[in-house]
Structure 1
Amino acid sequence: MILKTFRSLAFAAAATIAFAMPAAAQAPEGGTVVAVENTKGPIKIAFLSFQNNPFWTPVTEGAKAANDYLSKFNATVDFVDLGDELSAEAVVAGIEGALAKNYSGIVVVPIFDGTARIINEATDEGVPVFNIIAEGAAPSKRLAFIGQDATSAGKQIGEYIARKMNGNGKLGVITGYFGATQHTQRMNGALGFLKANHPDIEIVGPFENKDKAESAYSLVQDMMTANPDLSMVYVTAGGPFGAAKAVKDLGLSGKVGVVGFDHTPDNMQYLKTGEMVGLLDQAPYQQALDSSVMLYNYLVAGTEPRSKIIPVAGKLLTPEDVQ
């Protein structure tokens, strides 16, 4: 049932990925890219991703769907778990391992700075790298990046927060990793907008939860103890449902709202009951599936993605949307 939900959400978001699609061809369910004929022989793609919170479930399922689809074209997509602690070192080690195993190409989530060097090395060795979800600020020779503009997404959240708070009150801020470029951009996109346009909103934090729901839970409890007049919490990355659970357990449902990212089952449950008041999606299942097929097409036919940056426009859901 969870996988079906992820696929439905990914399929609904398909129109948000900007690139050309052959009119008479058939893309896999939940994706929008069609595989071309393989005249090169066996193709092996390494898909490198983390596994530290429920957000990664649709990413994993998207990679598996890509493997199922591309297996008909003499290609495999091997999912490689980078672990539950996000770091540049884990990404570097993962890419080095893929190079040692002679993979044809690599799909990776290089969320930190410090990963561009190994991406460049792989590219120079003839192994193209496709970045998804989030990448560091330093430029690299990656084939392309598919994902959300994190600063714009943060601004979108900031505008929504301002409306919900009527331009005043206390806002608690929890980010995933202070060193993650995407998390910082999401945070600064929101806070920059609020500081410039709604100076009466007081910021409490930011605090770091390392994408852990249990940490977000404890942080909200601590924030409420120190700031009983807190009216909203913004979680920039993983674990927002932990913050929502804290709101519920403190008996503050309807008084304190949580805003965050990703339409995962845990988050959606709290959106339905009202502790979460806003969730912005980034189509992770589709990103995983489409990037794998685009990389395959490049490997077998030299077909480059239409753009070096392929944007994903997220959909912001509210409790009213899911009733």
Structure 2
Amino acid sequence: MPFDITRRHLLQASAAGLALAALPRLAFADEALPEAAKAFGATIAAKGKAGSPLRLAVLSFQGSSFWEAADKGIAAAKDYLAPLNATVDYIQLGTGLTAEAVVAGLDGALSKQYDGIAVCPIFDGTVAKVNEAVAAGVPVISFIADSAQKSNRTVGMGMLAYDAGRKAGDFIVKQLGGKGKIAVITGYLGAPQHTDRMNGALDMIRKDHPDIKIVGPFECKDDDATAYGQAQDAMTANPDLQIIYVTAGGSEAAAKAVRDTGNTGKVGVVGYDDLPEKQQYKTGGEILALIDQAPARQSFDSLAMLHNILAFKAAYPKDIAIDAPMALGKLAKG
């Protein structure tokens, strides 16, 4: 799946004089991090035990391997912070990504008077409720999927979606040698992150590589069964199709469709989130590349930051851009 901070947010942070280049060194003491957190690349360590009990809420979605990875970071943070006088409650928002689900979750968290909230806002329709929480004195950290419209959230963490899309586009052009046909499957057309990752690739391709034809986009709503059917239909309708670009959830399903239709080596998938469940398709040749956004790291770091903000008045950059490394599959060129 999923989100991030936008290029506009990064520019605003730069204009404010934030030292973004130093962000990977945010951890106070790497040795203080639990092994589970180190395993998925967490960077924020708690500064110590809170002087009074803290109650933290984290709001996230379910329904895919991506969100399951985010759950691992939440579970690790809950165990890590418990002896440090901070309780983490996980408020599940369900499988359908909507602004209404986020707003309802935030309403519930505010009614229960949590000290701090970590959330994946995703949609612009969540901005007013985030602002309400901050105005009430509750720090809010946006992780993975921020809204395009700027809210007053305390910190926003995520990949730069448009830039990640451009990276995917550059890779696609290289695989095709500047000529061919691709199909695009996105998650939610109303989710800014999905749109930015799509347009980061397609804007460049349309402008600089007119010999690459584009089919779609198709909206799968982060549903694997839908993405599987859309990938099958795209290959059937376009026998000359070479790449399926999946901007959110569904890359594993698209890869399975490639395998099941006997198109391994002819059609490759470029997508996001380098998760263990997708390894078989990287080694099998169906997935050419995955750009990773470290969901477990983001959920863990968000909760550790909330702990430090509330217990020690720690200050963090308003916008934290995470790395977006690309993991290559067996059949990727160069």
In the superposition, the TM-score normalised over structure 2's length comes to 0.88
User: Separation in 1 of the partners of 2:22 and 2:328?
Assistant: 19
Give 5+ residue unaligned stretches, structure 2: 1-20
**Alpha-carbon contact 2:50-2:85 (below 8 Å) kept:** no
Letter in 1 for 2:204: F
Residue 61 of structure 2 is matched in structure 1 by: 50
User: Separation in 2 of the partners of 1:286 and 1:260?
Assistant: 19
1:317 aligns with 2:327: yes
Q: 2:167 aligns with which of 141, 153, 156?
A: 156
1:95 aligns with 2:106: yes
**Alpha-carbon contact 2:291-2:326 (below 8 Å) kept:** yes
1:311 shift after superposition: 1.0
Q: 1:300 aligns with which of 311, 319, 329?
A: 311
Give 5+ residue unaligned stretches, structure 1: 1-14
User: Separation in 1 of the partners of 2:34 and 2:199?
Assistant: 36
Residue 217 of structure 1 is matched in structure 2 by: 228
- After superposition, the Cα gap between the structure-2 partners of 1:227 and 1:37, relative to the gap in structure 1 and judged at 3 Å, is same
In the superposition, the TM-score normalised over structure 1's length comes to 0.91
Q: 2:242 aligns with which of 231, 242, 245?
A: 231
1:22 shift after superposition: 3.1
**Alpha-carbon contact 1:16-1:311 (below 8 Å) kept:** no
Letter in 1 for 2:221: K
- After superposition, the Cα gap between the structure-2 partners of 1:70 and 1:321, relative to the gap in structure 1 and judged at 3 Å, is farther
Residue 274 of structure 1 is matched in structure 2 by: 285
**Alpha-carbon contact 1:231-1:255 (below 8 Å) kept:** yes
RMSD over equivalenced CA pairs, Å:
1.7
- Give the 3-state SS of the residue equivalent to 1:114 in structure 2: helix
Residue 126 of structure 1 is matched in structure 2 by: 137
- Give the 3-state SS of the residue equivalent to 1:55 in structure 2: helix
Residue 10 of structure 1 is matched in structure 2 by: none
1:19 shift after superposition: 4.6
- After superposition, the Cα gap between the structure-2 partners of 1:177 and 1:285, relative to the gap in structure 1 and judged at 3 Å, is same
Identity value in percent: 49
**Alpha-carbon contact 1:18-1:310 (below 8 Å) kept:** no
Residue 111 of structure 1 is matched in structure 2 by: 122
User: Separation in 2 of the partners of 1:39 and 1:209?
Assistant: 43
Residue 218 of structure 2 is matched in structure 1 by: 207
User: Separation in 2 of the partners of 1:105 and 1:179?
Assistant: 27
**Alpha-carbon contact 1:171-1:203 (below 8 Å) kept:** yes
- Give the 3-state SS of the residue equivalent to 1:154 in structure 2: helix
**Alpha-carbon contact 2:61-2:95 (below 8 Å) kept:** yes
- After superposition, the Cα gap between the structure-2 partners of 1:96 and 1:21, relative to the gap in structure 1 and judged at 3 Å, is same
Residue 32 of structure 2 is matched in structure 1 by: 26
Q: 1:35 aligns with which of 34, 41, 46?
A: 46
Q: 1:59 aligns with which of 28, 48, 70?
A: 70
Per-residue CA deviations over 1:232-264 (Å, capped at 9, x if unaligned) read: 100000011111111111100000000100012
- After superposition, the Cα gap between the structure-2 partners of 1:286 and 1:39, relative to the gap in structure 1 and judged at 3 Å, is closer
User: Separation in 1 of the partners of 2:95 and 2:81?
Assistant: 27
1:319 shift after superposition: 1.8
**Alpha-carbon contact 1:147-1:311 (below 8 Å) kept:** yes
- Give the 3-state SS of the residue equivalent to 1:61 in structure 2: helix
Letter in 1 for 2:214: I
- After superposition, the Cα gap between the structure-2 partners of 1:121 and 1:250, relative to the gap in structure 1 and judged at 3 Å, is same
- Give the 3-state SS of the residue equivalent to 2:213 in structure 1: strand
Residue 3 of structure 1 is matched in structure 2 by: none
**Alpha-carbon contact 2:117-2:139 (below 8 Å) kept:** yes
Q: How many residues align?
A: 307
Residue 251 of structure 1 is matched in structure 2 by: 262
**Alpha-carbon contact 2:205-2:212 (below 8 Å) kept:** yes
Letter in 2 for 1:175: T
User: Separation in 2 of the partners of 1:281 and 1:166?
Assistant: 24
Letter in 1 for 2:326: L
1:40 shift after superposition: 3.5
1:23 shift after superposition: 5.0
**Alpha-carbon contact 2:288-2:331 (below 8 Å) kept:** no
